[in-house]
Homo-oligomer: A and B are copies of this chain.
């Protein structure tokens, strides 16, 4: 098992998390780690990711393990490695070793879990095999994590209240992941001039993540077609006039994630049209970060991005009208059709396995509005939260060529003027920010955002 170095005590931090959870629930809780899923045959598995809730309270990326929390007592359930496993996978820590590493009070074989499962709450993990075990061990239907019922729902709400803000252990790991992601982006910029395909830039970036023995927190986006928001293809050839949008983030061994996007010119130098739009997105990015502080509504940060982008596009002659009216009509969303960001933590969209339970404050739900529907977070910011700030500008054919939208925004958009910006297909600038008592700390600030600085790196 990889060693995880921490500047803060793992066990003390885990115990503090477990104590907080114990204060919020009056029933036992079982977290399953999950297990690997087969790729093309059983022995060839996808690279396993331990369930985030398990990681939060158990701290180690175990597989086929469970922990039971009852008040302040933690019992670890896992089986010892078989003798054959020692041949194929090397010596493993024993169950007692692991129990000591995570501060467990007791350690037992997995089969003993059945006898200690009465009235316990859980959260469904993502892999189907373990999900089935959860229902079997608890002797009841365990619904998917996005729709927990009964005590499972109470547990989910308690977890959200804990995981929404980050302790020192979490922040240490978030900073570690951010540092590696920053290095990856610099390597991507540096590799661009010699590269002929998107794949080569992706390789340079993910190579840094692998070299630091981390993994990607999500499928990298490294593309000249930034207008495809979740573009996981890398086969396009680079042309000198293209922008390259790279949304790449590392995940620490402990599971904590980072999420950074930068956009640069393949040639190293933005064209005048690219630069004009880049500076609008950057203005939105900077305005949003400047607005982050405890008590501010994240939705208002999103609307600030929308207004800043709309104002910039009015100045450029792409939009026409009053900024407030344009945003009210969702005209900004023609070019900025996603939310300004999301929670970040052990998951890149933190706790999104729980649906909108974490992202949306109690009593709130997604808007039907085109310009707000994709907002992944709608709650007041609190000290200790980490969110992304990621405004963007895109020319998405599926949006801009839509007949109804062209009719609705016939006057709001100067469609002729827009054609002059054909070389600006997609721009996004994304950083990870920590809400502090006095305002904000940008965890990814060591990676520049200004067009001039980025041009220096390419």
Instruction: Please name all residues of chain B whose beta carbon is closer than 8 Å to the beta carbon of A42 when the two chains form the complex.
Output: 126, 146, 352-353
* Residue of B1, B87, B128 touching A398 (CB-CB under 8 A): B87
Q: Give, as a whole number of angstroms, the nearest-CB distance from A360 to chain B.
A: 15
Interface residues of A in 185-218 (CB under 8 A from B): 197, 199-200, 202-204, 206-213, 218
Contact B41 A126 (CB under 8 A): yes
Report the Cα distance A146→B204, complex, angstroms: 39
Distance between Cα atoms of A22 and B352 in the complex (Å): 46
Say whether A38 faces chain B, with CB atoms less than 8 Å apart: yes
Among B87, B207, B348, B349, point to the contact of A396 (Cβ < 8 A).
B87
A83 surroundings in chain B (CB, below 8 A): 398
User: Are the CB atoms of B37 and A2 closer together than 8 Å?
Assistant: no
**Chain B contacts of A88 at CB under 8 A?**
228-230
A18 at the interface (CB under 8 A from B): no
Interface assignment of A421: CB less than 8 Å from any CB of chain B: no
A348-B44, A349-B41, A398-B86 as given contacts; A213 in contact with B228, CB under 8 Å: no
CB-CB nearest in chain B for A89? B230
**Contacting pair B46 A47 (CB below 8 A):** yes
**Chain A interface bracket (under 10, 10 to 19, 20 to 34, 35 or more):** 35 or more
Tell me the number of copies of this protein: 2
What CA separation (Å) do A202 and B212 show in the bound complex? 10
Which chain B positions have C-beta within 8 A of A352? Answer: 41-44
| B3 close to A91 (CB less than 8 A) | no
A444 at the binding interface (Cβ < 8 Å): no
Q: Identify which of A42, A52, A200, A213 gathers the most chain B CB atoms within 10 Å of its CB.
A: A213
Contacts of A228 in B (CB 8 A): 88-90
Nearest 6 pairs of A and B residues by beta carbon:
A128-B128, A90-B228, A203-B211, A203-B210, A86-B398, A46-B46
Interface, chain A (partner B; CB < 8 A):
1-3, 37-47, 49, 51-52, 83, 86-91, 126-129, 145-146, 197, 199-200, 202-204, 206-213, 218-219, 225, 227-231, 233-235, 255, 337, 346-349, 351-353, 396-399
